[in-house]
Protein backbone atom coordinates (compact mmCIF):
# COMPACT_ATOMS: atom_id res chain seq x y z
CA UNK A 1 0.00 0.00 0.00
CA UNK A 2 2.82 2.39 0.80
CA UNK A 3 4.50 1.75 -2.54
CA UNK A 4 1.14 2.26 -4.29
CA UNK A 5 0.67 5.60 -2.51
CA UNK A 6 4.16 6.70 -3.48
CA UNK A 7 3.58 5.81 -7.12
CA UNK A 8 0.32 7.78 -7.18
CA UNK A 9 2.02 10.73 -5.49
CA UNK A 10 4.86 10.67 -8.02
CA UNK A 11 2.43 10.64 -10.91
CA UNK A 12 0.39 13.47 -9.42
CA UNK A 13 3.40 15.73 -8.88
CA UNK A 14 5.45 14.87 -11.96
CA UNK A 15 2.93 14.71 -14.77
CA UNK A 16 2.59 17.55 -17.24
CA UNK A 17 -0.20 15.77 -19.07
CA UNK A 18 -3.94 16.19 -19.15
CA UNK A 19 -5.78 15.08 -16.01
CA UNK A 20 -7.49 12.25 -17.93
CA UNK A 21 -4.09 10.74 -18.77
CA UNK A 22 -2.88 11.07 -15.19
CA UNK A 23 -6.04 9.41 -13.86
CA UNK A 24 -5.69 6.61 -16.40
CA UNK A 25 -2.14 5.89 -15.19
CA UNK A 26 -3.33 5.84 -11.58
CA UNK A 27 -6.17 3.51 -12.54
CA UNK A 28 -3.76 1.15 -14.28
CA UNK A 29 -1.52 1.03 -11.22
CA UNK A 30 -4.57 0.44 -9.01
CA UNK A 31 -5.71 -2.50 -11.12
CA UNK A 32 -2.24 -4.04 -10.90
CA UNK A 33 -1.86 -3.50 -7.15
CA UNK A 34 -5.33 -4.67 -6.17
CA UNK A 35 -5.54 -7.59 -8.59
CA UNK A 36 -6.14 -10.35 -6.07
CA UNK A 37 -6.34 -13.75 -7.67
CA UNK A 38 -7.78 -16.73 -5.83
CA UNK A 39 -5.22 -19.24 -4.68
CA UNK A 40 -5.38 -22.62 -6.32
CA UNK A 41 -6.54 -25.53 -4.23
CA UNK A 42 -3.96 -28.17 -3.42
The predicted-structure confidence for 9-22, as pLDDT tens digits, reads as follows: 888 887 677 888 88
Question: Following DSSP, what letter does each residue of the chain receive, concatenated?
Answer: -HHHHHHHHHHHHH--S-HHHHHHHHHHHHHHHT-PPPPPP-
Name the band, by pLDDT with cuts 50, 70 and 90, for residue 36: low
Mean pLDDT value across residues 17-38: 76
Angstrom distance (rounded) from CA 19 to CA 29: 15
Q: What is the mean pLDDT of residues 15-34?
A: 78
Domain boundaries of the chain, sorted by first residue: 2-33
Amino acid sequence: MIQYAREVENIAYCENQEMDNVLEKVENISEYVFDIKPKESI
